[in-house]
A and B are shown apart, each in its own frame.
Chain A
Amino acid sequence: MHISDGVLPVGAALASGAASLAIAAWSARRIQGEELPKVAVVTASFFVASLLHVPLGPTSVHLLIPGLVGVLLGRAAFLAIALGLVLQSLLFQFGGLTALGANALMMGIPALICGWLFQTFKGQARKRQVLVGGLAGGLGTVFSGLILALLLATGGEDFFGVARLALLAHVPVVAIEALVSAFTVSFLLKVKPELLQARDALHRES
């Protein structure tokens, strides 16, 4: 779920935009200049992944995967997500340009937290890595929901009901995201474990 234009008070929109800019600059600092094209290409694949729909009973939900992006990209995740959101608003999804900062915070901060959690607690055993990966995936969605609710609540008391509902809407998605993330981590461990070992996957093991 993304926030669209005109929902947040203009102060909140501007403040979250400034905060996102600062975090994105911090996130970009770690990446060496010439490697930015790599972030761009990886971002494209996350963008495509976010178009995947998972059936859920009579309806379907699309994946957000902030947790998984964090697990794979570490600190570069925020930049990748901000970029992905720009592309979404460019391409078709939301006008979203005035709410870009808010959406970047909502998806990017969970990614940073989950990436850190994964790297800190993953340990060595395969089972544990899968478990922690799944937890990171699920938590990513929980955090996104919380930040979304907080942002909506900046609109004042009238918006508390909507904020609560938006948070509630994330609950069924949490389980799906956790499971898909766990399966993805398990697959990567089997096929290309070095992706999860390095602090971020952009640096080629040489």
Chain B
Amino acid sequence: MTGTGPGDIIVATPGILPLVLLILAMAGALLVVGRRRAAAKRSGHSPEQNWSVPVVDGASQGQSLFHRWDARFKLVSLLGLAFFIVATRSLTAGLLALGLAAAALAAARIPWRRALRRLLAMTGFLAMFVVILPLTAVVQPGDTLLVFPEIARLPFNLRGLELALSICARALAVALLMEPLLATAPLSTTLEGLTRLGVPAKVGQMILLAHRYIFVFLEETRRMSTGMNVRGFRKRTHLETLRVMGNFLGMLFIRSLERTHRVFDAMQARGYEGEFPGHGQFQAAPADWLKGLFFIALGIALLVLDRLWLP
């Protein structure tokens, strides 16, 4: 079939669709149960809410080519690479990028468990694409359609599936790249590198302060939530829960604002004039340049490959 119609129509045998759906449902249920169990194990108590937030620079003490790399070069070249990766279109380029990111992760000697957690946070959003895009992608000439007799009106477009998978591959690749970028130096060093690159110093300071206070407020939230549970509060789907949550938020904001004023006063009392003293030493060695050029060249190569040779 040529011209305006779809390229191929494959009709599946009846009975395949329920089977596929059943397998998908079982896999999904297993995944959810596994995540719940893992989350409960990590937080040690209530299985419904996991408050723990991993530390951003958790692997900053290691030894690897990323750890020894000047933060300025690391930021510019890995961010550049990330933009080259999201500019690609084909599934093959996406998978190549994913392999590249995984190799970088291995070279940085970052535990897979850490990186996996980043990926888990994105599963919901990406799953939406995998499920929806094959069913809603506009049929173009040359598309292969898979038709299940049970839902003949909703053909499954393989080009849509490929599109969704390429999105997933790029998203996962960039997410994995964040680990070598951010976890291989103390956060203050990374942010100082950002400042040296011309980003206003205030931005780095704000990120550093906010990052610190997140953990303070998490502790506060945990305390408040324990108090509520002790008094018999259980979350359910009804108005009372929402009222309690509203009050809870209000209390959190009031406490944080009061703390804000106190923190600010204390900082001024210690001579804060809008700057933090820096500690990092930034000296560009030839190796820094080489690594930077290497990653940018990889990004360009990937994009050229994607636009010129890959379908």
Contacts and interface: CB of A to CB of B under 8 A. Distances in A.
Interface stretch (B22-30, B63-71, B77-85, B278-286): B77-85
A73 to B, nearest CB: 10
A55 B246 contact: no
Nearest to A189: B250
Interface in B222-249: 235-237, 239, 241-243, 245-249
Given A6-B167, A90-B182, A94-B175, A158 B257 contact: no
A53 interface: yes
Interface string B256-292: 1101110110011000111000000000000000000
B143 to A, nearest CB: 11
Contact of A187 (B176, B206, B221, B247): B247
Given A4-B125, A95-B171, A183-B247, A37 B217 contact: no
A41 B213 contact: yes
Contacts of B246: 179-184, 186-187
Interface in B176-225: 176-178, 182, 187, 202, 205-207, 209-214, 216-218, 220-221
Contact of B206 (A13, A43, A160, A179): A43
B4 to A, nearest CB: 15
Interface residues of B, number: 88
B170 A6 contact: yes
A143 B188 CA distance: 35
A104 to B, nearest CB: 13
Given A158-B163, A162-B128, A184-B249, A95 B56 contact: no
Contact of B210 (A44, A68, A72): A44
Contact of B218 (A34, A48, A92): A48
A188 B250 contact: yes
Contact of A92 (B117, B174, B256, B268): B117
B253 A188 contact: yes
A48 B221 contact: yes
A125 interface: no
A37 B273 CA distance: 11
A22 interface: no
Contacts of B118: 92-95
A158 B178 contact: no
B178 A95 contact: yes
Contacts, number: 250
A82 to B, nearest CB: 10
B175 to A, nearest CB: 3
A92 B114 CA distance: 9
A51 interface: yes
B237 A41 contact: no
Contact of B138 (A33, A54, A83, A157): A157
A87 B218 CA distance: 14
Interface of B: 48-49, 51, 53-54, 56, 79, 82-83, 85-87, 94, 117-118, 121-122, 125-126, 128-129, 132-133, 135-138, 160, 163, 166-171, 173-178, 182, 187, 202, 205-207, 209-214, 216-218, 220-221, 235-237, 239, 241-243, 245-257, 259-261, 263-264, 267-268, 272-274
Interface of A: 1-8, 10, 13-14, 28, 33-45, 47-49, 51-57, 63, 65, 68, 72, 83-84, 86-87, 89-98, 157-162, 165-166, 176, 179-184, 186-188, 191-192, 195, 201-202, 204
Given A7-B167, A53-B235, A158-B163, 10 more contacts: A5-B85, A6-B169, A33-B202, A45-B217, A95-B174, A97-B174, A98-B86, A161-B135, A180-B246, A201-B257
9 contacts: A34-B273, A37-B260, A45-B252, A95-B122, A97-B178, A157-B138, A158-B138, A180-B249, A201-B253
Top-8 shortest CB links A-B: A183-B246, A161-B136, A6-B170, A95-B175, A45-B256, A187-B250, A44-B213, A5-B174
